[in-house]
Amino acid sequence: MAGVDECLRRLMALQGVLGAGLIDFPTGSSLGTAGRGHDRSYAEDAAEMIHATLRTAAFATVGDPGAVEDVVITAANGYHLLRPLPAATVARVVIYLWLDRTTGNLAVTQRQLTAIAAEFSAN
C-alpha cells in the first residue's frame, strides 16, 4: 500500500496539478497536503462537499450512494476534484486535487487518479 507521502508525490506529478491533499472526510481533517491552495479550512470544506453529495440522492447513484466516483467543481482558477476512496480500509479518505484549466486535462487526470487511488487503497 502506498503511503500518504508517496500518494501525494504521485498526485503532484500529474500534469497541471497545482495542489493535492488527503482528507479524513468524517472528521474534516487533513492527512497530508502538497502544492498550493491549502488554507486552514480546505479539508473541512471538501469534507462538507462529500457529505452533501452522499446525502443527496440526486447526486448519488440510485440505491448505492457509496458509488460516487468524483465530485468535480469547475472554477475560474481550475478544476477541483474530490475522489472518495472505496476500499473498506480507507473508506474515510478523500483525495483532493486542484487542476489548472490551461495545463491540465480533466479526463486524463481522472483516469490517472483512478490508478493512484486504487494503489493507495490496496491492502
pLDDT, one tens digit per residue, over 19-58 is: 999 988 888 888 888 988 766 677 788 888 877 877 775 6
Q: What architecture (CATH level 2) is domain 4-121?
A: 2-Layer Sandwich (3.30)
When pLDDT is cut at 50, 70 and 90, the band that residue 1 belongs to is very low
Alpha helices per DSSP H over 14-98: 42-55
Is 103:123 a contact under the CB 8 Å cutoff?
Answer: no
pLDDT, one tens digit per residue, over 90-110 is: 568 889 999 999 999 999 999
Residue 35 zone, left/alpha/beta (φ > 0; ψ -120 to 50; rest): left
When pLDDT is cut at 50, 70 and 90, the band that residue 123 belongs to is very low
What does pLDDT average to over the chain? 83
Alpha-carbon span 79 to 89, nearest angstrom: 28
What's the grid cell of residue 95? 483525495
What's the grid cell of residue 70? 468524483
pTM equals 0.82
DSSP 8-state code for residue 90: G
Per the DSSP assignment, residues forming a β-bridge with 84 are: 94
